[in-house]
Amino acid sequence: MATATATGQTGRTPSAGLPRTPEYRSPASRRRRKTLVAWMFALPFVLIFGLFMLMPLLSSFVMSFTDFTSKDVRNPFAVGFVGLDQFVELFGNEQFLHSMANTGYFVIAGIPLTMAAGLALAVALNNGITRFRSAFRVGFYTPVVTSIVAIAVVWRFILQPDGLLNLVLGWVGIAGPDWLNSTEWSMPAMILMAVWRNMGTLMIIFLAGLQNVPTEVLEAAEVDGANAWQRFFTVTLPILRPTLLLGAVLLSVGFLQFFEEPFVMTRGGPLDSTLSVSYFTFNQFGFGKYGLASAASYVLFIAIALLSLFQFRTLRSKD
C-alpha cells in the first residue's frame, strides 16, 4: 500500500495524511542505505576493536615468525622473517618447557579442586540450608571481586613459614612447609590460593544450574528409595553436566593465563617452579625479544582457542 510519494531524504515527514510513509527507493538502494546506517552504529566498535584487538592479534601471529626485538620498534617493517625458528627455539628452551609444565600443573590440579569446592558450596546453599543463604553467597563470592595483586600480597605473608596458614595448620597438628621457598610446595600454595579465590564464581554458575534440576525427578527417586548420595550422583550430576563443563572451560581459560600470583609472590621462583607461560612471555618481552614472546603467547593462545572451540561446541549441543 501507499507506494507513492515521498522524498528520498526524509522518510519521516508525515506527508499527505498517508497511514505510512515509506520511501520510494529501489530495493537495492534501500538495502544499501540500511547497510550504511548499520555500519554507522558499528563504526566506533569496529575502529577501536580493529585497531587495538584484531591488529595486535594478527601482528602477534606475524611477529612470531620474525626476529623482532625492541630495537626494531623504530622501523617495524624492516625485520627479518625467520620462519619457524622462534618456535624451534621455544621448544628447545628448557625454561619454556618448564613453564608449560607448571601451567599444566596449575590448570590440571586447580580446576578439579575449584570445581569440587564450588559444587559443594552450591549444593549446600541450594538444598542444605534454609536461612542465611544470601549472606553465605556474598561471603564466598567476595574473593572473586578482589584484585589478584592485592590478594597475592596478602597471601605472601599468610604463606610465610610462621604465618597464618601454618598457624592454623598447627592447630590440627600439621607442621606446614615454607610454602613459597620450596620448589615442591610453591605451586600447591598457588593452587590453594586459586581455589580460594575462584570457587565463588563456580558456586554462582552451579547454583544457577541447580535451578534446572526438576524437583519431581528428585522426589520420585527419593520415593523409590534412593538416598541423598545416590540421588546426587544419578540425578543431579547428570543433569548438571553441561553446566559443569561450562564452568570447567571458563575457569581453565582464566587459569591458563595465570601471571599475577607468581609475579607478586615468587617472581617465578624458586628455581622457576612457579614460572607460567604468561610470565615467561612477559620476561621475554622485558628482554626485548618480541618475536620469541609472540611465539610463546601464541602457543598459549592455541591452547585457549582449542578450549573455546570445545566450549562453543558443547554450548551449541545444549540447544
313 forms part of the interface with another protein (CB under 8 A)? no
Handedness of CA 220, 222, 224, 228 (dihedral sign): positive
Segment interacting with another protein, rule: CB under 8 A, options 5-13, 105-113, 173-181, 230-238: 5-13
Of 1, 26, 28, 41, which one interacts with another protein (CB under 8 A)?
A: 41
Residues 233-272 that bind another protein (CB under 8 A): 243, 246-247, 250, 253, 256-257, 259-260, 263-264, 267
Segment interacting with another protein, rule: CB under 8 A, options 88-96, 98-106, 203-211, 233-241: 203-211
Instruction: Mark 91-120 with x for binding to another protein (rule: CB under 8 A) and - for no binding.
Output: ------------------------------
CA 55 to chain centre: 21
Of 98, 177, 181, 196, which one interacts with another protein (CB under 8 A)?
A: 196
Closest by CA position to 82, among listed 292, 256, 244, 267: 292
Nearest approach in angstroms of CB 12 to another protein is 4
Question: Please, which residue, 72 or 187, has the CB nearer to another protein?
Answer: 72
What lies within 8 Å, CB to CB, of 117 at 6+ separation is 195, 199, 202
Nearest approach in angstroms of CB 271 to another protein is 18
Closest by CA position to 123, among listed 57, 49, 207, 200: 207
Closest by CA position to 298, among listed 153, 96, 126: 96
Cα separations in angstroms, 183 against 108, 178, 219:
18, 10, 50
DSSP string over 84-139: THHHHHHHH-HHHHHHHHHHHHHHHHHHHHHHHHHHHHHHIIIII-SSSHHHHHHH
Total residues interacting with another protein, rule: CB under 8 A: 107
CB 282 within 8 A of CB 99: no
Rounded Cα distance, 130 and 124, in Å: 10
66: β partners: 81
274 forms part of the interface with another protein (CB under 8 A)? no
Of 23, 25, 59, 310, which one interacts with another protein (CB under 8 A)?
A: 59
86 forms part of the interface with another protein (CB under 8 A)? no
Residues 14-33 that bind another protein (CB under 8 A): 14, 20-21, 31
Of 48, 84, 116, 169, which one interacts with another protein (CB under 8 A)?
A: 48
Return the DSSP state at 54.
I
290 forms part of the interface with another protein (CB under 8 A)? yes
Nearest approach in angstroms of CB 96 to another protein is 14
Rounded Cα distance, 47 and 32, in Å: 21
Residues 121-180 that bind another protein (CB under 8 A): 121, 124-125, 128-130, 134, 136-151, 153-158, 162-164, 167-168
